[in-house]
Amino acid sequence: MNHSNSGLAHGTNGSPQLTLENGEMAARAKENEARLSALISNKFPNDNQRGKKYDFKVRDGRIILKNGIRYANFVIDENGELKLGNGHSFLANGKNVKAAGTIKVNKQGYIRRIINSSGHYQPTVSETLTYIGKLKALGVKVDNAWISIYSFERTSSGYVGKRKMVYHGQVKNLERRLK
């Protein structure tokens, strides 16, 4: 595969890494600013919405979850509100969202990993690149987190068939590349 055209290269650990020329990086960063307010459509809005909401607070840049929960699905809904729990579409009441994925937090409440996996929303790479700014705008510290960005191949019925890792690395390194 010719990685120069795909935007992919392999890092020292063998995982794919997002690589873009400086001009393309600047263009993507500008696009991302415009997309901060864009919505990601629910691919299956008529599905039965099942799930669970988690109680949490954002305090001093940390997400404090009750009951020792460390992994959670998250959405940022149409109104810009962060919701955590199980079931992306349930958390958003079946509506479109600004962000959808999964987070892992440590015992202190700092986000350690952000993943763009969501079967209902299937966020694109470009949409996922806006998550960092959106979480920061909500007062969440993400600089020391890692982010895994996948592209999704859909089956003929619209479900996620395969996913391909496009980027896996620290948020702060990704931000430097996008400036």
Is residue 34 classed exposed, middle or buried when 0-12, 13-18 and 19+ CB atoms within 10 A define those classes? exposed
* Residue 132: predicted pLDDT: 93
CA proximity to 16, closest of 6, 29, 24? 6
pTM of the model: 0.77
On whether the CB atoms of residues 113 and 128 are closer than 8 A, the answer is: no
Whether residue 84 is predicted with pLDDT greater than 90 in this model: the reply is yes
What is the distance between the alpha carbons of residues 51 and 85, in angstroms, rounded to a whole number? 7
With bands split at pLDDT 50, 70 and 90, how would you rate the model's confidence at 130?
very high
* Residue 48: predicted pLDDT: 85
Paired strand residues for 168: 148
On whether the CB atoms of residues 48 and 34 are closer than 8 A, the answer is: no
The residue segments making up the domain with residue 72 are 3-178
Give the chain's domain count.
Answer: 1
- pLDDT tens for 24-50 read 666 666 665 555 568 999 999 888 889
